Amino acid sequence: MFKAFKLKKSKDVKDSLSKTRGSFMGQLSGLFAANEIDEEFWEDLEAILIQADVGVETTLDLVERVRNRAQQERVKRTDDARQILKEEMRELIISNTPLQLDKKRLLTVVMIVGVNGSGKTTSAAKLAHYYVAQGKKVILAAADTFRAAAIEQLEIWGERSGATVIAHKPGADPGAVIYDALKSGLARKADLALIDTAGRLHTKFNLMKELEKLYSVTGKQVHQAPHESLLVLDATTGQNALSQARHFLDAAKITGVVLTKLDGTAKGGVVFAIHKELGVPVRFIGTGETLDDIQPFDADEFIEGLFSEKTMNSEQ
């Protein structure tokens, strides 16, 4: 029943960042080519970062830090400022851990939340695949019962991922799906239960009430569950993703972000704003539409990917 799959070698983060790098680095390399640092340099740097969706607050803070350090270290050349910028960007990123599948815990429960279309169902299936490949028993709960298509989608993807999918009929109570999924997870001694939820755009009040219900069912079944709540954000929406996120942060105990569709956007800079302005780590990144296209977020790799000059021309 629990099939083991090998993960294909995941895509190079550099490839997924090609669009972000194309616009961001394309402009930065022009800026850094200037050699001498002058006032205009700082203004241009600010504009480029804001354009790359790093966010105004984060950009202002970042540029100030780079500027202060450049002054202290008597840096006059743009090349050296580039290195400082990289280091300060790295500083913005909260150190990250993948999901903790605690052996002492009976079942680790992870709630997947976010608005419609952000990539929740896809990410739930990808995460299932990722952990099945590591030899874990995974249960997927189809708790988005509002659309028949959503249940079907999870069933098909879940099957492919090697996880067990627990689903009810369309329109069923999502709480009942969660109840069954966790019961089944405990009975089968599964390691991980991933709960795919509905993502209709809510008023904050309704969102809160609905999530509260789901959290309560979850907590009654498994001690201290959910152990994590991952907020799925669509990177292509850039700064809009941030305002959505604030909505969810108020309504749920979000422990991390899955940032999807990095492969299709020049707005990868939003990673910095998520860390700095929301204070939650990006746990995983989505880099495409197949089951293999997910990977743990690695800050060093991400920043190297942004600044890499690899095949800049062939990417245009």
Which residues lie near Mg ion (CB under 5 A)?
120-121, 150
Position with the least CB separation from Mg ion: 121
Q: How many CB atoms lie within 10 A of CB 86?
A: 16
Q: State which of residues 35, 97, 116, 134 lies at the interface with ligand GDP (CB under 6 A).
A: 116
Secondary structure letter of residue 118 according to DSSP:
S
Q: Which two tokens stand for residue 22?
A: 């194309």
Q: Which is nearer to ligand GDP, 45 or 140 (CB)?
A: 140
Q: Which is nearer to Mg ion, 133 or 150 (CB)?
A: 150
Pair 16, 301: CB distance under 8 Å: no
| Distance from C-alpha of 270 to C-alpha of 66, rounded to nearest angstrom | 19
Q: State which of residues 185, 199, 226, 281 lies at the interface with ligand GDP (CB under 6 A).
A: 199
Piece of the chain touching ligand GDP by CB under 6 A; list 115-123, 163-171, 209-217, 296-304: 115-123
Q: Which residues of 25-52 are buried (b: 16+ CB within 10 A; e: fewer)?
A: bebbeebbeeeebeeebbebbbebbbbb
User: What would the x/- binding string for ligand GDP be over residues 30 to 69, using CB under 6 A?
Assistant: ----------------------------------------
Q: Position 311: which residue type?
A: T
Q: State which of residues 288, 291, 292, 303 lies at the interface with ligand GDP (CB under 6 A).
A: 288
Piece of the chain touching ligand GDP by CB under 6 A; list 26-34, 41-49, 117-125, 172-180: 117-125
| HSE toward the beta carbon, residue 279, CA cutoff 13 A | 4
- Closest distance between ligand GDP and the C-beta of residue 279, in Å? 23
219 interface partner picked from Mg ion, ligand GDP, none, CB below 5 to 8 A per type:
none
Q: How many CB atoms lie within 10 A of CB 7?
A: 14
Q: Which two tokens stand for residue 181?
A: 């999924």
Q: Which is nearer to ligand GDP, 232 or 270 (CB)?
A: 232
Q: What Rg value do the Cα atoms of the chain yield, rounded?
A: 21
Pair 202, 210: CB distance under 8 Å: yes
Q: State which of residues 289, 300, 310, 311 lies at the interface with ligand GDP (CB under 6 A).
A: 289
- Closest distance between ligand GDP and the C-beta of residue 118, in Å? 4
Q: Does 119 bind ligand GDP (CB under 6 A)?
A: yes
